[in-house]
A and B are shown apart, each in its own frame.
Chain A
């Protein structure tokens, strides 16, 4: 089935089997492998991307469901060499260890600040409930998000 999705600001036309998952389309068809597959059961949030400005789990969506929509992945955040403030905050606050959850965590955190620009620590912890860190590095992740909110 033919589809057209604007990914990181660029319109991309494709032709996929209807059963192709959005995350599979992003990684395998478009070669954007920054978005990770973790649990593959919509629990861990590693595959979080934005669709039309909202965070979604791309392992639990079909690519055809995103036809005609705008998708933002971790690759679309930086402007040239300049990192997105959330990426910068993760770097400065050691918000990552192994890095596997990081792309999803950063996308979920940006979505969180969109809905609540001045969250408390508790708001951040609750707002990131859909993202798991296998290193259990939550302390610095929360610190990073709070730092990004201030900046």
Chain B
């Protein structure tokens, strides 16, 4: 399967990439690792007229200690998240979740920023950064702005990014020793999650988000509130099934997904309690 024809431009900096994309508007797409975009283009579900390759913008690949949070460049690949000792120390949930994305070959190419900007509800890292209360940084022709993860996901594969805005950094609060768990339920190695759960707990606070339970990654607000109000894990987990509106698909019915969400949230909260 070969994508439809397109023009290919290679950018040396974020500013150059944004300026190229600004000329073409909706017809242009940023290309990072390409592991979300190229499969869609091969199936002709996406047919951008112009691809702006940003993979060589090297100054957007980093993992830095920024005091109360870890700052991660958008072009940091999954394999780097997986093996970063800084991330393992301060945000182990994200490092662990990254090690479950696809397979080693996919993790050698796919990037954190690409996964988030693609805004696929079935992807592991959008929900994980949502659970962690991350902030995303977007750069456009008129400068940069911060977007809270909670305000970012607008619909299926739709984000708050404007056509000429590029995601440049992901800021993830340090977990400060919080318990955590990542549950990914699938039937075959390397598959997408049928349902996934990213969770952390510290004292009476909890952050739980769900993978593949609706048209966007879902923050399980009712579960998080229940935990902070002293609910039992069982009672809080039960709320997860009503937290979203999952779809039927070839892998699972919506009812099965709701059931899985409660079971996996219970497991995740139990595992995060230690």
Which residues of A pack against B, CB within 8 Å? Answer: 1, 17-21, 24, 40-43, 45, 48, 51, 54-57, 60-62, 64-65, 108, 111-112, 115, 126-127, 129-131
Contact = CB atoms under 8 A, between A and B. Distances in A.
Given A18-B51, A21-B2, A57 B8 contact: no
B105 to A, nearest CB: 5
A111 B8 contact: no
B140 to A, nearest CB: 25
Interface in B1-37: 1-8, 10, 31, 34-35
Given A55-B105, A61-B38, 7 more contacts: A41-B39, A48-B105, A56-B108, A56-B109, A62-B34, A112-B104, A130-B190
18 contacts: A1-B8, A20-B2, A21-B2, A43-B190, A45-B105, A56-B105, A57-B105, A57-B109, A60-B39, A61-B38, A62-B8, A62-B34, A65-B34, A108-B105, A126-B189, A127-B104, A129-B190, A130-B103
B6 A42 contact: no
Contact of A42 (B4, B39, B51): B39
A55 B6 contact: no
Given A40-B42, A130-B105, A130-B190, A17 B35 contact: no
B106 interface: yes
A126 B188 CA distance: 11
B173 interface: no
A40 B35 contact: no
B184 to A, nearest CB: 12
Given A1-B8, A24-B2, A40-B42, A65 B53 contact: yes
A69 to B, nearest CB: 10
A24 to B, nearest CB: 7
Contact of B53 (A21, A40, A64): A64
B210 interface: no
Nearest to A45: B105
A130 B79 CA distance: 14
B102 interface: yes
Interface string B85-114: 000000000000000001111101100000
B55 interface: yes
B187 to A, nearest CB: 13
Contact of B38 (A43, A62, A108): A62
Contacts of B4: 19
Q: Which 8 A-B pairs have the closest CB atoms?
A: A130-B103, A18-B8, A129-B189, A54-B108, A19-B3, A57-B105, A129-B103, A130-B105
A19 B6 contact: yes
Contacts of B51: 18
A11 B39 CA distance: 28
Given A42-B39, A61-B109, A108-B104, A19 B2 contact: yes
A45 B53 contact: no
Contacts of A51: 108
A145 B103 CA distance: 17
Interface string B108-142: 11000000000000000000000000000000000
B6 A61 contact: no
A64 B8 contact: yes
Nearest to A60: B38
